[in-house]
Amino acid sequence: MPSFPELRDPLADAAVALRLASERDIPEILIAYQDDPQLHLRMGQSRPPSAAELGRLAERAEADRTAGARLTLTVLEPASDVCRGQLHIDQVDWDGARAELRIWLAPQFRGKGLATSALRLAGGWLLRSCGLERVQILADPENQPMIAAAESAGFVREGVLRGYARGPTGRIDAVVLSLLPAI
């Protein structure tokens, strides 16, 4: 069964580092959801996660990684180990060699290029080291900063999935962006 390779050292460039998520990130995650009351909606959740839920996710993270089900990476500033956001890799289809990325940053760290660098690092790693052939992002058409970060990271806008998901007020659209290996 395919799985994500062990990430012994963080993925890093001059702007950002990505390491495996851990329990020590929970306080910063809870603060980020508190500082941005809409974050859970942008992440497709009905409500913000609790500390207990985050703890359970952390406890099963290694099993999820080795099973190839999902992986969460913590976004860090260089020379820091404090969580500034997270990048989620899920909707993994090993037979189809594809996965979906979702990313969030704490409000005070947005607009600094962290998301672009994190998406570039994670996307490249998934295509080079994990055997995936397609990495995609589904974004709210109104979330222009997310779309711009993805495009700056090399993702290509493919179009809009009209009425893709249910939202609190009805059907919502999603912009599809993809990253494929260089041919």
Q: What is the pLDDT of residues 73-101, one digit of tens each?
A: 999 999 999 999 999 999 999 999 999 99
Question: Is 37 within a domain?
Answer: yes
Which two structure tokens, joined as six digits, stand for 30? 């809870």
When computed from its CA atoms, the radius of gyration of the chain, rounded to whole angstroms, is 16
Question: Is 10 within a domain?
Answer: no
- What CATH number does residue 105 fall under? 3.40.630.30
| Mean of the per-residue pLDDT values of the chain | 95
- If phi > 0 it is left, if psi is from -120 to 50 it is alpha, else beta; for residue 115 that is alpha
Q: What is the pLDDT of residues 2-17, one digit of tens each?
A: 899 999 999 999 999 9
User: Packing angle between helix 51-67 and helix 26-35, nearest 10 degrees?
Assistant: 120
Please compute the mean of the pLDDT values over residues 109-125 and round it to a whole number: 97
Question: Is 11 within a domain?
Answer: no
Quote the domain boundaries for residue 25.
16-179
Q: What is the pLDDT of residues 97-115, one digit of tens each?
A: 999 999 999 999 999 999 9
Question: Is 2 within a domain?
Answer: no
Question: Is 124 within a domain?
Answer: yes
Q: Which helix (H) or strand (E) element contains residue 123? A: helix 114-129
Give the chain's domain count: 1
